């Protein structure tokens, strides 16, 4: 599983070891990062969106968390 939150969109994907994408989910942040308090609003967007995206990605892939062999997450912006 890969979880991406380095900029404004929140994403979760399930990918097999051979590179086959089993599921890919994205929730776009509509506020843009040029407005006041945008980084705080983007962080809130990630916190609110990612649990649902992970759940949806797992459901679509027909896998459960205990079946995953690795989880990769974004660490910091950019």
DSSP state of 65: G
Tell me which CATH homologous superfamily contains domain 2-64. Answer: ATPase, nucleotide binding domain (3.30.420.40)
The whole model's pTM is what? 0.83
Q: What is the torsional sign of CA 58, 61, 64, 67?
A: negative
Kindly list the domain boundaries of the chain, sorted by start residue: 2-64
The string of pLDDT tens digits covering residues 53-75 is 999 999 999 999 999 999 999 98
The maximal CA–CA distance of the chain, rounded, in angstroms, is 42
The string of pLDDT tens digits covering residues 5-44 is 888 889 999 999 999 999 999 998 876 666 677 778 888 8
User: CA 68 to CA 63: how far, in whole Å?
Assistant: 8
Alpha helices, H only, 1-78: 38-61
Strand blocks (E) in the chain: 2-4, 10-15, 21-27, 72-73
pLDDT at 41: 80
Question: At 78, is the pLDDT very low, low, confident or very high (cuts 50, 70, 90)?
Answer: low
pLDDT at 30: 74
């Amino acid at each position: 599983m890969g979880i991406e939150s380095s900029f404004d969109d929140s994403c979760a994907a399930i990918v097999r070891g051979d590179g086959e994408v089993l599921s890919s989910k994205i929730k776009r942040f509509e506020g843009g990062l040029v407005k006041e308090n945008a980084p705080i609003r983007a962080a809130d967007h990630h916190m609110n969106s990612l649990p649902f995206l992970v759940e949806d990605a797992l459901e679509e892939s027909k896998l459960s968390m205990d079946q995953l062999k690795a989880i990769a997450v974004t660490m910091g912006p950019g």
